[in-house]
Amino acid sequence: MLVSTLRFISRGWVSSFYIKPRFHFTFYGFGWVKPFGEAGTYALFALMAIAALMVTIGLFYRAAITLFFLTFSYAELMDKTTYLNHYYFVSIIAFLLILVPAGRYFSVDARLRPQSKVDYVPGWCINIFKLQLVLVYFFAGLSKLNYDWLIAAMPLRIWLPANSQLWLVGGLLTQLWVAYVFSWFGFLFDLLIGFFLLDGRYRGWAYLFVLIFHLSTGWFFKIGMFPYIMIFVTLVFFSTETHLKILKAIGRLFGAKPQNVAPDKTYQLPSAAKGIVTAILVLHFVLQVIVPFRYLMYPGKLYWTEEGYRFSWRVMLMEKGGTAFFHVKDPHTGKRAEVINSLYLTSFQETQMSTQPDMILQYAHFLADVYRKKGIQNPVVTAESYVTLNGSGSRLFIDTTVNLAAQQETLFGHNKWIRPFKDNK
Amino acid sequence: MQSCKKSGADSASNNNSFDRKGLLSNVSTNIILPAYTSFQTSVNTFSAAIVAFNAAPDATKLTAAQNAFIALYKQWQWTSLYDFGPASQANFRVNINTFPTDVTQINANIASGTYNPNLLANLAAKGLPALDYLLFGVGADNNAILVQYTTDSQAANRKTYLATLTTEVKTRTDAIVSAWNGSYKATFLSADGTDVGSSLGQMVNQLVYDEEILKNFEIGIPAGVQSMGTTYPTKVQAYYSKISLQLALQHLQATQNLYLGKDGLGLDDYVAKVNAKYSDGRLLNDAIKAQFVIAQTKLQALSDPLSDNIATNNAAVVAAYTELQKLTVMLKTDMTSSLGILITFVDNDGD
C-alpha cells in the first residue's frame, strides 16, 4: 500500500487526475466527495502515505489503518475515471484490517506496549481475508464464463498479438491458439484457485500458479500494482509456521534478536464488540456475494451497457473504445454547437467517458450547467458516441435524439437511452 | 488520391503476426524522414527568398517570397503529423502552426521592436500563420504590401520581424531534422511495442490528433460547428494567402499516405492482418480507405478562398466536416481498438 501510494504521487498522477481536470465524475450518492484543491489533495495523499507506513511498521495500528482506509477510499471516490478493481480491493482489505488485531505481534506497538502483544488470534481474523480472496477470484472466474471470452477468445486475441515484440514469447503471442489457451487457463485459474489455496495439500502448487499467472499478466499488460498486491495478499493462505519463518527473516534483516518467549497469549474480542463485529462481517460478505450479481437486473448486454459492471471483480474482460461528440442545442433558436471535449476533460477522462453511459450522463449534465451559465435556458444536450466492443466495429452507443440534460441519474435504474448492442445501424 | 495495391495481407490467416518493426522502418525511411527533409529544403528556399526581399524589397522579390511561402505551407501539411519524439519535446507543431494568428500581437511586436520567442502570447504571433499575414495580409494588394516594407514608418521593424520569424522556423526545423538524422531514428525503430510510449502508439496517437486538427481547426471552427452556427471565416488556416482548401487537401492526403505506408508496409496492412471488421460488415481497412476518398471528394466540392465558401455555401463546408468526423471515429476508435493501441496521452494504472 505504501509503495502504491508513493508510486501514485511520484508519477504526477495526483496532479493530472485530481487537480488539473475542471470536472470530476463522482459516484452515485458520493457527489460530495471532491478534491480539496492542490495543497489539500496532496495533503490527503501525504496522510495516506504516512498511515500506510505506520500500518507497515505497526505503530498505532488501529488508528493508522482506519486513517488509511478513509483517505484511500476518499481518493478513490473523487473521480470514477480512475476506478479500478484493485483500488476497490485495497479499500476492502483495509476495511477488514480495521477489524482485526494485526498490530499485536511483530510490530512497534507490541514493542512499546508489551502487554498488548498477542501470539494467537482466533481463526476468523485470518479466515475473513481468505474468504474475501476466494470471492474475488471466484467472481473474476465466473465473469469469464461467457461467449466472448471462451469461444471467441476476445479480447485476448487482440491484446496478445499487440505484445509480439516481447522477448522469447513474442512470436507465440501472435498465434490464435495461444489466445485460446490463455483465455481458458485464466478462466479456470480464477474460478478454482481460491479453493486450491484453501486446501493444504495443493497450496504449494496453487501458489506457484498464482506466481505464474500474476507475473505473466503483469509482464504482458500494463496493469500496474495489481499482480504484486495479489501475490503478497494470497500469502495469507499459508500456515502460521510459514509466516513466522518469513517474519523471522525480516526481523533478522533489521537486526532484531529472535525472541524466545513461548507463544501463549490469544487475542479475544471484548464481548461488547463481538456482536457488532459479527454483524458488520455478515453484512459485508452478504453484500460481497450479492453485488456482483446485480447486473442480472438489467436488460441488454452487460459489457455494452456497463450497468452493474463495477465492484464485481470484472477484470480485463473487454476491449472497448469510443469517440463521443456532444451537441448542445438552444431550444429557442434551434441552433446547435458541438462541444470541444478537451476544454473540460483530460484526454484520459474523455477516453473513459466515451464508453461508459453513467459518465456520459454526468458529463451531459455538466455541459448543461456550463451552457446555462452562458445564458442559454434549458439547453438540449445530446451525445453522439461511437463505440466498438471486442472488435465489433464502432456503432452508435447512445440514442442521439434523447436530451440527456433531462435524464436523471439513478442508483439501479436502467438507462433506456443506451442503444441495444445488436442493432447494427 | 493515390491508390496502391499491395500483397501480403492474408486476412484469412489465424496467425496475427505482423511485422511492426518493418512498418516502423518503412514509415520512418520512406515517409517521415523525406517529409522532414523536404520541409527543411522548403524552409531554406523560403529563407533565402526572405533574405533577398529584405535586402531590396521589390514586386518581383515579394512574389518570389510569396511563392516560396505557399510551397512551404503545403509541405508543412506533410510534416505536421509527426509531433512525437524530438518534435514533441520542442513543441514543434504549435510553434510552427498556431492559427488563427494574432494580428494585434504581431503589430505590437513590430511597433516595440522586441520579440520573445518563448512568450506564450507570441505563439499566435509567430510561425507560418504570422508569416502568412506579413506576406499577404499587411496590405490590400502587393503594391500596398510593398509599401509596408519600403516607405512605411515601421518598414525597418517589419523587415526585422519577418526575418526573425523566418530564422526561428529554420532553427526549429534544423533541430528536429538533425535529431531524426542522429540518434532518434534508432530510438524510433527500437520501441516496437504497442503501449503508449511505443513508437507505433505515439505515431497513431498523433495521426488521430492531427486528423482532428484538420477537422476542427481547418474546417469545423471556421464553419461554426462549435459556435451555434456563428461562423468564423477569418479563422481558417492561411486566411491571407487564400490557400486554405489546398492545404486541407494536402493535409488529408498526407494522413492517407501515412495510413497506407506510402507503397510499403503501413497501418492498412496491419488493420488487414488482424482482420478487423467495420460495423456494417465491411473489412475495416476497406471502410477506412473508402472514407478517405469520401472526405476528399467533399473537400474537393469546395474552392479557395475557403473563407468565401463559408460565407456563401456553408452547408457544403459542414458536409465535408461530417465526413472528416466519420474518419475520426474509424481511426480513433475502430483502428486503435482493433490493434490494441491506447488513445490517451497519460499512462495509467489499468486493470
In this predicted model, what pLDDT tens digit does every residue of A163-206 receive, in sequence order?
888 877 888 888 889 999 999 999 999 999 999 999 888 999 99
- B178: Cβ contacts below 8 Å, ≥ 6 apart: none
Q: pLDDT per residue over B179-209, tens digit each? A: 999 999 999 999 988 887 899 999 999 999 9
To the nearest whole number, what is the mean pLDDT of chain A? 88
pLDDT of residue B222: 97
Asked if A157's CB is within 8 angstroms of B227's CB, the reply is no
Grid cell for residue A236: 495469507
Among B190, B211, B245, the domain boundary falls at B190
The confidence band for B128, taking pLDDT boundaries of 50, 70 and 90, is very high
Reduced to 3 states, what is the DSSP secondary structure of residue A120?
Answer: strand
Residue B2 has pLDDT above 90, yes or no: no
pLDDT of A258 reads 56
Q: Are residues B117 and B164 in the same domain?
A: yes
Tell me how many domains chain A contains. 2
Say if residue A279 is in the same domain as residue A331: no
Q: Percent of chain B scored above 90 by pLDDT?
A: 89
Q: Is B267 on the interface with A (CB under 8 A)?
A: no
Weakest mean pLDDT among A178-182, B39-43, B153-157: A178-182
Distances (CA, A) of A216 to A85, A152, A160, A186, A210: 19, 21, 12, 11, 10
Question: Are A392 and A156 spatial neighbours (Cβ–Cβ below 8 Å)?
Answer: no
Considering only CB atoms, B338 lies closest to which of A164, A222, A391, namely A391
Q: What is the CATH number of the domain that holds B112?
A: 1.20.1420.20
Residue A180 sits in the same domain as residue A80: yes
Residues A324 and A288 in one domain: no
- Residue showing cell 498488548: A116
How far does the CA of residue B192 sit from the closest CA of chain A (Å)?
6
* Residue B201 to residues A343, B16, B63, B344, Cα–Cα distance (Å): 24, 18, 42, 10
B47 and B170 Cβ atoms separated by less than 8 Å: yes
Angle of helix B155-179 versus helix B127-136 axis, rounded to 10: 150
Same domain, residue pair B99 and B224: no
What's the rounded Cα separation, in Å, for the pair B3 and B25? Answer: 21
Q: How many CA atoms lie within 13 A of B126 on its CB side?
A: 24
pLDDT of residue B338 exceeding 60:
yes
Task: Decide if A142 touches B, using CB distance below 8 A.
Answer: no
For the ranges B146-150, B217-221, B224-228, B341-345, the lowest mean pLDDT is seen at: B341-345
Report yes or no on B315 lying in a domain: yes
- CA dist A188 and A181 (Å) reads 11
Shortest CA gap A231–chain B (Å): 15
Which pLDDT tens digit goes with each residue over B65-122? 999 999 999 999 999 999 999 999 999 999 999 999 999 999 999 999 999 999 999 9
Judge whether B10 lies within some domain. no
Residues of A in Cβ contact (< 8 Å) with B337 = 158, 319-321, 388, 391
Query: Which residues lie closer than 8 Å to B343 by C-beta, 6 or more apart?
Result: A321, A347, A351, B204, B205, B208, B332, B336
Task: Name chain A contacts of B329, Cβ cutoff 8 Å.
Answer: 323, 386, 394
Which of B142, B158, B190 delimits the end of a domain?
B190
- Domain extent, residue A332, equals 319-406
pLDDT in the model for residue A260: 52
Question: Which of B228, B332, B346 lies at the smallest CB-CB distance from A337?
Answer: B228
Is residue A279 located within the same domain as residue A364?
A: no
Which percentage of chain B shows pLDDT scores above 70? 93
Positive or negative torsion for Cα A43, A45, A50, A54: positive
In a domain, B6, yes or no: no
- Kindly report the nearest CA distance between residue A26 and chain B, in angstroms: 19
The predicted pLDDT at position B341 comes to 87
Q: Is there a single domain that holds both residue B174 and residue B230?
A: no
Judging by beta carbons within 10 Å of its beta carbon (0-12, 13-18, 19+), is residue B154 exposed, middle or buried?
Answer: middle
Is it the case that residue B8 has pLDDT exceeding 90?
A: no
Distances from the Cα of B21 to the Cα of A165, B186, B193, B265, angstroms: 9, 11, 9, 10
Identify whether B210 is part of a domain. Answer: yes
Q: Which domain holds residue B139?
A: 15-190
In a domain, A360, yes or no: yes
Residues B170 and B210 occupy one common structural domain: no
Residue A227 lies in a domain: yes
Question: 320-349 in B: which are within 8 Å (CB) of A?
Answer: 325, 328-330, 332-334, 336-349
Q: Count helices and strands (H / E) in chain A.
A: 18, 4
First to last CA, chain A: 46
A218 and A324 in a single domain? The answer is no
Residues of chain A with pLDDT under 70: 1-2, 4-6, 8-10, 12, 256-264, 423-425
Q: Confirm or reject contact between B215 and chain A (CB < 8 A).
A: no
Tell me, yes or no, whether B108 and B212 share the same domain.
no
- H or E element, residue A380: strand A380-389
Task: Let me know if residue A110 belongs to a domain.
Answer: yes
Of A166, A330, A393, the CB nearest to B277: A393
pLDDT score recorded for residue B6: 36
Query: Are B184 and B272 in the same domain?
Result: no
Q: Is residue A278 part of a domain?
A: yes
The per-residue pLDDT for A424 is 46
The ipTM (two decimal places) reads 0.87
Q: Which residues of A touch B190 (CB under 8 A)?
A: none
Residue type, B343: I
In this structure, are B161 and B255 located in the same domain?
Answer: no
Mean pLDDT across B279-297: 97
What pLDDT score does A10 carry?
66
Q: Do B154 and B55 belong to one domain?
A: yes
B10: pLDDT strictly greater than 60: no
Among candidate residues A58, A140, A126, A132, the one with its CA nearest the CA of residue A90: A132
**Is B30 within a domain?**
yes
Same domain, A286 and A376: no
B228 within domain boundaries: yes
Residue B3: inside a domain: no
Listed in sequence order, the residues at least 6 apart from B322 whose beta carbon sits closer than 8 Å to its beta carbon are B298
Q: Does A322 touch chain B (CB under 8 A)?
A: yes
**Which of residues B32 and B8 earns the better pLDDT score?**
B32
Q: Tell whether A335 and A273 lie within a shared domain.
A: no
Continuous H helices in A151-301 = 156-159, 170-173, 176-198, 203-220, 226-233, 240-253, 271-290
Note whether B201 and B344 are same-domain residues. yes
Task: Determine contact: B195 vs chain A, CB below 8 A.
Answer: yes
- Of B157, B190, B223, the domain-final residue: B190
- Domain-located, residue B174: yes
- Count the domains in chain B: 2
Query: Do residues B271 and B321 both lie within one domain?
Result: yes
Q: What are the residues whose beta carbons fall under 8 Å from the beta carbon of A408, sequence distance 6 or more?
A: none
Please check whether residue B284 touches A, CB under 8 A: yes
The answer to whether residue A21 is domain-embedded is: yes
